[in-house]
Each structure stands twice: as C-alpha cells, then as structure tokens.
Amino acid sequence: MATKLKLGPRANSFSDPHSGIQLAPGEVIDFPTGPISWVLREALKGAHVIKFEEADPILDQVDPPVVTDSPAEDDIITASDLEGLTRAQIMDKFDFLDSDHVAEAKKKKTVADLITFLLKVQLEYL
C-alpha cells in the first residue's frame, strides 16, 4: 500500500516551500520520503492535508465469481413452485441437471413421481 496526500475537505490549496509539495483540489501525490517539514506536519495536524493509504491495484484484483450451473441454496425449487406446470416446464426449471439425471427423470411415469425425483436430485447440486 502506498501512502498518499490530498487536500482536506475545507482546503483550497497547499504549498510547502521546504519540501516542494504543492497540492491543488482533486490532486493526489505520494507521501514524501525522509523527514517531514514543520509546515507539512502542521497541515496534517489541522486536516488541511490528509494522509491516506492507497491500496495496491494488483493486490486488490478480485477473481471473478465462479459461475456454476447449479442452483444456489436460496434458489432451491420447491413443490409449490412446480404446481400447475407441465412436464416440459418442470424440466426447464431443472436445466442444471446432468444428462444422466435428465434421462432418469424422463423415465418417470407420473408428474408426481417426476417432481419427487427432481426435488431429491437437486440437493446433490447444492
């Protein structure tokens, strides 16, 4: 993390002739290395200039979330969600199933058996 300087909320500008620092509104500069002048020290105390840590952009890169075809726990399908749907509509809701489970689901004779099977199988995908 790099230490940076910027103007405080009520400051219009800052200039320190001893360290050569000049700040304008919206400008951000690196915190000087070495000894700090008394002018900068007083500006920091009075919040005329604010010292803050800027995160390293390489360290802050977050891996994108892994997208899975399985339902999340809050997306669990319940029997009431399937009420009044046709076999095809029910199978569309379970599009995350692999081919083995789809083949077995198609073998079910009644819609009730199909729903019971699919509700049990979906738990394997969580």
Q: What is the C-alpha separation between 44 and 49, in angstroms, rounded?
A: 5
Amino acid at 22: Q
Taking each helix axis from N to C end, the angle separating 99-106 and 111-121, rounded to the nearest 10 degrees, works out to 160
Amino acid at 16: D
Residue 4's φ and ψ, nearest 5 degrees, are -125, 165
Residues in a beta bridge with 6: 28, 50
- pLDDT value at 8 more than 60: yes
* Percentage of residues of the chain with pLDDT beyond 70: 82
Q: What is the mean pLDDT of the chain?
A: 82
Cα 22 to chain centroid distance, Å, stands at 36
pTM of the model: 0.43
Q: State whether residue 54 is helix, strand or coil.
A: strand
Q: What is the pLDDT of residues 51-73, one digit of tens each?
A: 888 766 665 566 666 655 555 55
